Amino acid sequence: MEKSLQIAVLMGGPGSEREVSLASGNAVLEALKGQGLEAVAVDVTSRELTIPEGTALCFNTIHGTFGEDGEMQSILEGMGLPYTGAGIESSRLGFDKCASKKVFVEHGVPTPASEIIDCKDGIVFPDMPLPYVVKPPREGSSVGISIAKTQEEAEHAITEAAKFSDDILIEQFVEGKELTVGVLDDQPLPIVHIVPRGGVYDMATKYPWMNGEEDNPDVGSDYYCPADFDAETTARIQTAALAAHKALGVEIYSRVDVLLDADNNPYVLEANTIPGMTATSLLPKAAQAAGLEFGPLCERIADLSLSHRG
């Protein structure tokens, strides 16, 4: 892409994933500069956007609320500024776990059975038998999510999830391998197999550095890419991930989370439209396994986005 074009890297944001977003944003900023591109940092601290004059493209690295739910995309389009990644509608669908679940079912994407409960008048329990997963529908990928295996755990999990929203997604618990599949320009990348050291892939095992435990060998997760599956299983997983990406209409890139059960059946959980973008994040790991290093990956996303919206 034209090296003289100014790229504003939007990072931080007003949501619960601000610290993770700052890490992604600063990594992307340095990667773009390393590619010889004119990149500037924009720390977004509220829903008021101030974009530097002369910006040709906004590189969105704001995870979760505001940056990933379509709100910021709508503001940028109103300002006439092109931006990276998913658009308004695909962001809204991808961020809302209830809405994306409905889309997956309508398009035949393999996904765990689910039920939506309404807790506006107090805690209620689903008809679905235990064990199940309790998810606030419009938070970051791991925020407020709990696995409930007993009635006591279910009551606690639903109570906590209800702090985020009245409607709560209850999803059938699928025992299996945690996988994620990056999609770039409608092409699936090599599969990443995630093995959380604590048994559950949550905020603590995703980001041990947030709690000062990056050097603790018992905390965090191990990642294997490309995942060690036969060609048929690999194709089945990548096909399911790509189907989810396309069903939501996601532009440019995403990272789709998948569970693989003991019979090698994939179940799509969700699509992340603004995945982590540090050099050690999962989408960059997958791209690297495909031969695309972090700097060229960031430039590729910028180039595709500018071509799509420029």
Q: What is the DSSP string of 148-182?
A: E-SHHHHHHHHHHHTTT-SEEEEEE---SEEEEEE
Catalytic entry in 94, 255, 295, 305: 255
Q: Are 310 and 82 in contact (CB under 8 A)?
A: yes
With vertex at residue 273, the alpha carbon angle to CA 8 and CA 128, rounded to the nearest 5 degrees, is 150
The residue annotated as part of the active site, out of 15, 17, 90, 236, is 17
CA distance 226 to 153: 35
- 17 catalytic? Reply is yes
Catalytic position from the list 96, 139, 171, 270: 270
Dihedral Cα 240, 71, 158, 262, nearest 10 deg: 10
Write the secondary structure of 221-235 as one string of H (helix), E (strand) and C (coil): EEEECCCCCCHHHHH
253 belongs to the catalytic site: no
Helix (H/G/I), strand (E/B), else coil: 219:
coil
Please pick, among 70, 140, 276, 295, the residue that the annotation labels catalytic: 276
Amino acid at 102: K
276 among known catalytic residues: yes
* Pairwise CA distance, residues 63 & 76, whole Å: 16
Tell me which of 114, 272, 281, 305 is the catalytic residue: 272
Give yes or no: 272 in active site: yes
Residue 207 annotated among the catalytic residues of the structure: yes
> Active site residue: 207, 236, 267, 303, which one?
207
Please pick, among 178, 257, 299, 303, the residue that the annotation labels catalytic: 257
Q: Confirm whether 255 is a catalytic residue.
A: yes
Catalytic, 265? Answer no
Catalytically annotated residue among 114, 141, 142, 305: 141
Catalytic positions are: 17, 141, 207, 255, 257, 270, 272, 276
